[in-house]
């Protein structure tokens, strides 16, 4: 069994793969102060309720954009799973040619999404990952990672709005009943929801102009379904895209 970890700024998504099949997945908060022992015990405790045998874990692959926890996760893998984890980076054999000006600056999650998007849907394609930030990753028809865009995610916008104003409340990010809010909470939700969709569609419109109308548009991340419901350009939602990309990279390198 393979453990795939996608360590983001807000959450760590974990997938357990039996061959190419995603047997189970979990989402945990990214806690910088968590020790290797705490991570190890936490992962051990996830396996039994899922009906999985932790002794069958033979490998671990990690994409991380949180460098302070990398050494902790590596030690956890060695101590609790008796394996040396594989960290994804620009030097990893991805099957993509990286055309970024400075390849080492590309977030591992962006590379993984590019691998999964191209291998599952073909190129050209653009993957929109809705997390703490909103990442746009563009892959050519010739398997080239071209780059993309990074924008502020709705969670950051909500926190900024709450912290920088005296009277506006902190609200949930959700699809409002109407674009015209009739109270403060509804007005904030309308502005955030339709503002986020407008930004995403505005960037996608320009990407499609550049790459051509045959370009596939795929959304992933925790809020992908919510955003895709209002988007004019997102055609596919793939919840497990990043984890599947990690499995593809592992398989390619082993």
Residues labelled catalytic? 109
- Rounded Cα distance between 42 and 28, Å, is 10
- Rounded Cα distance between 225 and 39, Å, is 29
What residues pair up with 149 in beta bridges, in sequence order? Answer: 136
Structure tokens at 61: 């692959």
Number of Cβ within 10 Å of residue 160's Cβ equals 11
Q: Could you tell me if residue 125 is left (phi over 0), alpha (psi between -120 and 50 degrees) or otherwise beta?
A: beta
Q: For residue 171, report the phi and psi dihedrals to the nearest 5 degrees.
A: -125, 165
Contacts of residue 193, defined as CB under 8 A and 6 or more positions apart, other chains included, come to 154, 173, 174, 175, 176, 226, 230
Structure tokens at 231: 């988007």
Question: CB-based burial of residue 224 (10 Å sphere; 0-12 exposed, 13-18 middle, 19+ buried)?
Answer: buried
């Amino acid at each position: 069994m393979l453990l795939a970890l996608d360590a983001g700024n807000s959450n760590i998504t974990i997938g357990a793969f039996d061959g190419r099949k995603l047997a189970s997945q979990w989402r945990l908060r990214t806690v910088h102060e968590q020790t290797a022992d705490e991570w190890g015990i936490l992962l051990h405790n996830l396996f039994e309720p899922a009906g999985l045998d932790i002794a069958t874990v033979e490998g671990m692959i990690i994409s991380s954009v949180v460098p302070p926890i990398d050494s902790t996760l590596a030690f956890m893998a060695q101590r609790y799973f008796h394996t040396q984890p594989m960290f994804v980076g620009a030097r990893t054999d991805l099957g993509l040619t990286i055309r970024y000006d400075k390849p080492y600056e590309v977030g591992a999650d962006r590379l993984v999404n590019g691998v999964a998007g191209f291998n599952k849907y073909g190129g050209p394609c653009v993957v929109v990952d809705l997390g703490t930030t909103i990442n746009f990753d563009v892959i050519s028809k010739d398997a080239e990672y071209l780059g993309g865009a990074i924008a502020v995610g709705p969670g950051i916008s909500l926190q900024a709005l709450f912290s920088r104003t005296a009277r506006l409340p902190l609200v949930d990010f959700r699809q409002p009943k109407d674009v015209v809010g009739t109270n403060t909470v509804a007005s904030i939700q309308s502005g955030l929801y339709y503002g986020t969709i407008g930004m995403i569609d505005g960037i996608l419109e320009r990407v499609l102009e550049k790459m051509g109308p045959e370009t596939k548009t795929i959304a992933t991340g925790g809020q992908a379904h919510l955003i895709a419901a209002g988007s004019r350009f997102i055609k596919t939602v793939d919840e497990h895209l990043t984890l599947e990309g990690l499995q593809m990279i592992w398989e390619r390198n082993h």
